Structure 1
């Protein structure tokens, strides 16, 4: 099965030895995204709602670069540094992924890169 690396300038560049996404066998696997501004590579200012919005905008750009979209997401994993932020994250998440809800796991973690409060990765089908 051939694998294809997916990259786009519309999302933050990888901050480690990984691709923004990998396309393989009709599926697109995104790397986790935190709330980095694609233009500056710095973490945005704002609460968990603003961070979640930036993360999902970044993921939307990666999905589109790989020939998919938020409507084709089948699995999501959300990492939160404070599970008290679950409801606020969930409100924004539902705006982006609420039509046909994918399977999802939410995990509380001690820390995330760059001091982020949320990280999300997705698996989607390709168009």
Structure 2
């Protein structure tokens, strides 16, 4: 199966040597997605809800670039620097996944590369339909 790399343009991609998402056949894995805008700036400093939304919007875009969508997500992982933020983050997640209901893990971590990041989110997806007109499928 062909391996397709999806970039989000993060300045860390070349520095660290990673892709926002990797797709192999119908499987898509999206690594720790930080609350950064398209220019690499942290959004929502101090605001877990804004940061969670930014992470999920970046993930949504990566899935779409891979020929997929949020409906194909089967697992999410939310990593928080303060577990007390879990409810607010989960409420934002529910806006995106309330009817899809992928499995989820919420955990506390000691920190991220940028001290202003309150959350990173990872997802795994399995495409239900493959579009033969999409070059990534």
TM-score by length of 2: 0.84
Whether contact under 8 Å (1:12, 1:58) holds in the other structure is: no
Distance 1:24 1:14, change over 3 A: farther
Q: RMSD of aligned C-alpha atoms? A: 1.3
Distance in 1 (alpha carbons) for counterparts of 2:37 and 2:99:
26
Q: 1:2-34: CA deviations, max 9, x gaps?
A: 311122xxx442512101111113111112111
Whether contact under 8 Å (2:11, 2:40) holds in the other structure is: no
In our comparison, the structure showing a higher alpha carbon Rg is 2
Q: State the 1:83 CA deviation.
A: 0.4
Distance in 1 (alpha carbons) for counterparts of 2:31 and 2:9:
11
Whether contact under 8 Å (2:76, 2:121) holds in the other structure is: yes
Whether contact under 8 Å (2:74, 2:102) holds in the other structure is: yes
Q: 1:55-99: CA deviations, max 9, x gaps?
A: 000100000000111111001111000000001001100001111
Partner of 1:114: 114
Partner of 2:22: 22
Equivalent runs, 1:12-91 vs 2, <5 Å: 12-13=9-10, 15=12, 16-38=16-38, 40-46=39-45, 47-91=47-91
| Residue 136 of structure 2 is aligned to residue 125 of structure 1 | no
Distance in 1 (alpha carbons) for counterparts of 2:51 and 2:62:
17
Distance in 1 (alpha carbons) for counterparts of 2:31 and 2:11:
9
Whether contact under 8 Å (2:81, 2:110) holds in the other structure is: yes
Q: State the 1:125 CA deviation.
A: 1.6
Distance in 1 (alpha carbons) for counterparts of 2:37 and 2:92:
18
Partner of 1:93: 93
TM-score by length of 1: 0.90
